[in-house]
Amino acid sequence: MAKSLICNSAGDWQEVLELRDATLPAHPTAGHSRIRMLAAGIHPSDFGMIAGTYGKAKVFPCAMGREAVGEVMEGAHQGEIVRIPEELGVWAEQIDAPSTGLFVCPKDLKPEQLALSFINPPTSLRVLEDFLTLKADDVIVTNAGRSAVSQAFIQLAARLGVKSHAVIRNKTTEDETWLKSLGAAGVWDETEDYSKQFKAILALNQVGGESVLKLIKTLRDHGVCVTIGGGSKTPVRYPTRELIFKDVQLRGFWMDRWTRENPTKVRPMMELIWGLMREGKVTQEIAAAYPLADFKEALTKASEGSRRGKVVFVASER
C-alpha cells in the first residue's frame, strides 16, 4: 500500500483533495520502475491545476503534483535518483513509472533542492536568456520578490553581472537583507514609487494588475516585460503610453511549452543549473517540509502570501 494525494474534481483544494491508499503490485510490471518519492514541491500551478484553471487540464480523479524526485527501488535505474514524471502526479509515497525516458538526477544534491530545480530556476534562466541579449550593468526588475522564481532570477542575474531589483509586499528589513544577499541591487515595496529610481530593460511579472503596470513604467525604451503568472487574479490594463512612446514589448512565457519544443536542450540546461547549485550560486529556500499525511497543513502554509521560501513534501522515512 502507498498513499497518494488524489483530486476528485476541479475545485478548491480543501474540498476536492484526499489522501488515499493505492495498491501496488508486489513488483513493477515489465518496462516499469518503482520510485519512492523523496521530495516534492508545491507550486501556484499545482493550485491552478486543482482548480481547473491551469494551461493543461487534468482528467479527474487523478494524483496531483508536478515536480518531485525519488529513488528507484526496483526496475531500470535501480538505486538512481530520478525526476518523477509529472504526468503521473507526483504527490505519492511510491509510484510505478515507465522506465523509458526517466530523467536521472545527480546524487550529490539534497533531494529538496533537486525537487525544486526543474521549474523555477529554468523559467528564470529562459527569461534572462531568450528575450533580450543582456549586458553587464543592464537593469532588470521582478515583482513577487520573495517567490522561488524571483530568488533564481536574482541569483542568475548576478552571474551575468546584471543589476536586479525586487518588488515585494509589506517589505521588512529582513526581506531586504535577504534579497540583497542573493544579489539584488534594490528591494522595493509595492507601495513605493520605485519607477523613478531606476530604468530597466527587462521586467518579470508574476502578479498582474496594478503591480505589472508599475513594472512596465520602469522600462526604458524598447524594454520587455515577460509575464509568467497572475497571482493577483486581476486583469492588466493596456499600458498605451508605454507601448507608443517607449515601444515596450509585453511577452509571455510558459516553461512547459519551452520543454516540449526544445527536448534536446533540457538536459544541458539542467546540468548547468545543477552545477550552479553545487557552487552555491543557485539556492531555493525551503519554508517548511511536511509528510503527505500532513497535506492540509502543507497546502495551507503554501497558500500564505507572505511566505518566504517553498513548501515541500518529503518522505516520511529518509
* Residues designated as active site: 54
Task: Enter the DSSP assignment of 172.
Answer: -
| Rounded alpha-carbon distances, angstroms, from residue 153 to 113, 128, 164, 196 | 16, 8, 8, 22
Which grid coordinates belong to 13? 483544494
Which grid coordinates belong to 44? 501556484
- Position 303, amino acid: S
Helix axes 148-160, 173-182, angle to 10 degrees: 40
Q: How far is CA 106 from the centre of its chain?
A: 20
Return d(Cα 272, Cα 227) in angstroms, integer. 24
Longest dimension (CA), the chain: 67
CB 224, CB 201: distance < 8 Å = yes
How many C-beta neighbours within 10 Å does residue 313 have?
Answer: 29
CB 119, CB 270: distance < 8 Å = no
Q: How far is CA 271 from the centre of its chain?
A: 17
